[in-house]
Structure 1
Amino acid sequence: MCPCERRPRVTTSAPLLHADGLHVTFPPRRGRPAARVVDGVDLAVGAGEIVALVGESGCGKTTLARSLLGLVPPTSGRVSFAGRPLEYSPGALRAYRRRVQLVLQDPSGSLNPRHTVYDAVAEGLRIHGHRGDERAAVGRALARAGLRPPERFFLRYPHELSGGQRQRVVIAGALVLDPELIVADEPVASLDASVRGEILALLLRLRDDLGLSALVVTHDLGLAWNIADRVAVMYLGRIVEEGPVDTVLTAPRHPYTRALVSVLPDSPTPPTVLTGEPPDPTRIPAGCRFHLRCPALASGEAERAGVASACRTRDPRLLPGADVACHL
């Protein structure tokens, strides 16, 4: 599937989930300086929208996702949901997590091997004191996740399921509380290629049938290509490019995004191998935080454009209304 085969949704209402100037800094430890893991991020997810948050390992995307879930309180900035700032009292977070659910990347590690599928899916209902028909709710969640008939799976254990079925159980565990948004961290990274498409199609169907929003955290631009309405590209704690999936992935503007896109199987440009050290939030360089690895600077493109000095000395920001943070 490519973006031209599926028209991304365009949301015009206020965002369902919104990060405003979000910072997460981890204090110094073991002789290492403080780590500015999330460093001034603005990010929005609209109702019924799928946003892919992409970037290399170490860029801060998982920490950003955990902060959006309320698992990591921000150092500064604000997270809002449905127009209201997120509060961090136990009661407020409990209510919030009924509406926003996490789907982890490794179903084998997410599921207790001693719990049946029924108990795994019902766990959220029991934690939140569900007073309705538990059996009906579990069956409905399993059916929505594509495990039909659901009763066939009630008494089965994780080791009796395939990898794809286990991931569907994890998704059912998130769906059982009827959330408005899910945060999926590498939801198909541990699955065989033959199963990946089924899970991605399931997430699209949940969006279309239930109006479910999703933030999908991934290092895989191919996944974003297949599922996202919008893409936010993250490097060293910042969003460096953002926009509709078919714009960002077919006409990338930031040199970092260009390099990521170049290694996709159908890329029209030769693969760009990024040199230099990977992102380290304890050692953020002066100037553009990507300039030490930037192919545009190494090739002379930035020099010819007259911005090489700015790349080395001035930190570009993704300003309101802009879609790329780059001096070029």
Structure 2
Amino acid sequence: MSGQGVGTDAAASAAGVAPLLSAEGLRVVFPGRRGAPPARAVDGVDLDIGAGEIVALVGESGCGKTTLARSLLGLVRPTGGSVRFAGAPLTYTGKALKAYRKRAQLVLQDPSGSLNPRHTVYDAVAEGLRIHGYAGDERAAVAEALSRAGLRPPERFFLRYPHELSGGQRQRVVIAGALVLEPELIVADEPVASLDASVRGEILALLLRLRDELGLSALVVTHDLGLAWNIADRVAVMYLGRIVETGAVEDVLTRPQHPYTQALLSVLPESGGEPVVLAGEPPDPARIPSGCRFHVRCQALASGAAAGVADRCRTEDLAVLGGGGVACHLVQAAAVQG
């Protein structure tokens, strides 16, 4: 498990160290189609990523993870809230955004779709350097990036095309393409989802090594809590556009408090218990329920375990969760009683 010696929000705050990336009250609303209400894909999110920290953003498909990740990179312009990087607000003008994207890079889940089949490995990795007008030794920079990504000797891969590589090698090329610009942050969207199980561990080990050797920060978007356990220092659990639980990986994954986190963990083989089957599908982000947005699927509410706060669950919204903790009426009521 990762996270040895890496500060969390609390540690960084105590030391007076500002996070590398910080989102506050972030919202992304997409216009409704054919008279439908607007879709609140990201509906008020506070999230910090510290220097040298790996944060896992987990949740079901459609919960808003990818939209949040892209808005943090400036690929999707938020409709509300703010993003700060290294203490400065993110500016969405062309020149400023181009400079920011050199410091914060995206790694997509499907390396086959990320790589142009007509480009050699060398050209794929060198593309970012050319876009940003790199004035140094391009060949040396490409070779160093490939080597850091675990493709050695790098010159052996220069003239290869994507179809000549394995899935793991293609993902390493994509990572090298991000590393060549020497970013401070990478956002990896399901970085091992398309890979064989035998290769996943190698890519995760690579990301951990890059964190340790380069001080690289990372936001890893995933639906797999097992992956979060193996790579993350901190976990943020997202449901229907909001973070509902966040904290150190050991705390969230060994002592989950939110019923949604408990349900996600229950399906892992090592959980040892019966899987929790959530009722129905996640609600439409254009029609978010009143009260706690999870209440229509909550196993605690359905079983009667939340009887004392059931009315609040159905009618009272919860504040945006920032820093760390759990956004749940049941958990909050238990804390007061305790």
Query: Given the two structures, how large is their TM-score scaled by the length of structure 1?
Result: 0.96
Q: Structure 2 counterpart of 1:232, which letter? A: A
Q: State whether structure 2 residue 231 is matched by structure 1 residue 227.
A: yes
1:148 aligns with one of 152, 165, 168? 152
Deviations, residues 175-209 of structure 1 (Å, cap 9, x unaligned): 00000000000000000000000000000000000
**Unpaired segments ≥5 residues, structure 2:** 331-338
Q: Structure 2 counterpart of 1:196, which letter? A: R
Question: Per-residue deviation at 1:33?
Answer: 1.4
Q: Secondary structure at the match of 2:274?
A: coil
- In 2, the alpha carbon distance for the partners of 1:100 and 1:174 equals 9
Q: State whether structure 2 residue 265 is matched by structure 1 residue 270.
A: no
1:238-249 matches, within 5 Å, as: 238-249=242-253
- In 2, the alpha carbon distance for the partners of 1:320 and 1:41 equals 8
Alignment match, 1:80 = 84
Alignment match, 2:259 = 255
Q: Is contact 2:104–2:186 with CA below 8 Å preserved after alignment?
A: yes
Q: Structure 2 counterpart of 1:313, which letter? A: T
Question: Per-residue deviation at 1:269?
Answer: 2.6
- In 1, the alpha carbon distance for the partners of 2:185 and 2:142 equals 19
Q: Is contact 2:47–2:322 with CA below 8 Å preserved after alignment?
A: no
Q: Secondary structure at the match of 2:243?
A: strand
Q: State whether structure 2 residue 312 is matched by structure 1 residue 310.
A: yes
- In 2, the alpha carbon distance for the partners of 1:126 and 1:319 equals 41
Question: Per-residue deviation at 1:126?
Answer: 0.3
- Going from structure 1 to structure 2, the CA distance change for 1:76 and 1:199 (only over 3 Å counts) comes to same
Alignment match, 1:52 = 56
Alignment match, 2:136 = 132
Deviations, residues 186-245 of structure 1 (Å, cap 9, x unaligned): 000000000000000000000000000000001111110100000000000000000000
**Unpaired segments ≥5 residues, structure 1:** none
Q: Is contact 1:207–1:213 with CA below 8 Å preserved after alignment?
A: yes
- In 2, the alpha carbon distance for the partners of 1:30 and 1:133 equals 53
Q: Secondary structure at the match of 1:152?
A: helix
For structure 1, which segment, 312-321 or 118-127, has the greater mean C-alpha deviation from structure 2 after superposition? Answer: 312-321
For structure 1, which segment, 98-107 or 311-320, has the greater mean C-alpha deviation from structure 2 after superposition? Answer: 311-320
Q: What value does the CA root-mean-square deviation take over the aligned residues?
A: 1.1
Alignment match, 2:198 = 194
Alignment match, 1:94 = 98
1:30 aligns with one of 34, 56, 60? 34
Q: State whether structure 2 residue 159 is matched by structure 1 residue 182.
A: no
Q: Secondary structure at the match of 1:108?
A: helix
- In 1, the alpha carbon distance for the partners of 2:205 and 2:65 equals 23
Q: Structure 2 counterpart of 1:79, which letter? A: V
Alignment match, 1:324 = 326
Deviations, residues 123-152 of structure 1 (Å, cap 9, x unaligned): 000000000000000000000000000000
Q: Structure 1 counterpart of 2:236, which letter? A: A
Alignment match, 2:110 = 106
Question: Per-residue deviation at 1:112?
Answer: 0.5
Question: Per-residue deviation at 1:30?
Answer: 2.3
- Going from structure 1 to structure 2, the CA distance change for 1:65 and 1:320 (only over 3 Å counts) comes to closer
% of aligned pairs identical?
A: 79
Alignment match, 1:7 = 4
1:297 aligns with one of 296, 301, 309? 301
Deviations, residues 71-95 of structure 1 (Å, cap 9, x unaligned): 1111010000000000000000000
- Going from structure 1 to structure 2, the CA distance change for 1:204 and 1:298 (only over 3 Å counts) comes to same
Alignment match, 1:211 = 215
Deviations, residues 97-121 of structure 1 (Å, cap 9, x unaligned): 0000000000000000010000000
Q: Is contact 1:179–1:212 with CA below 8 Å preserved after alignment?
A: yes
Q: Secondary structure at the match of 2:152?
A: coil
- In 1, the alpha carbon distance for the partners of 2:294 and 2:123 equals 47
- In 1, the alpha carbon distance for the partners of 2:110 and 2:321 equals 36
Question: Per-residue deviation at 1:278?
Answer: 2.0
- In 2, the alpha carbon distance for the partners of 1:42 and 1:103 equals 22
Question: Per-residue deviation at 1:277?
Answer: 2.3
For structure 1, which segment, 274-283 or 233-242, has the greater mean C-alpha deviation from structure 2 after superposition? Answer: 274-283
1:66 aligns with one of 60, 65, 70? 70
Q: Secondary structure at the match of 1:266?
A: helix
- In 2, the alpha carbon distance for the partners of 1:234 and 1:207 equals 24
For structure 1, which segment, 244-253 or 263-272, has the greater mean C-alpha deviation from structure 2 after superposition? Answer: 263-272
- Going from structure 1 to structure 2, the CA distance change for 1:90 and 1:110 (only over 3 Å counts) comes to same
Question: Per-residue deviation at 1:32?
Answer: 2.0
After superposing on structure 2, the runs of 4+ consecutive aligned residues of structure 1 that deviate more than 3 Å are 318-322
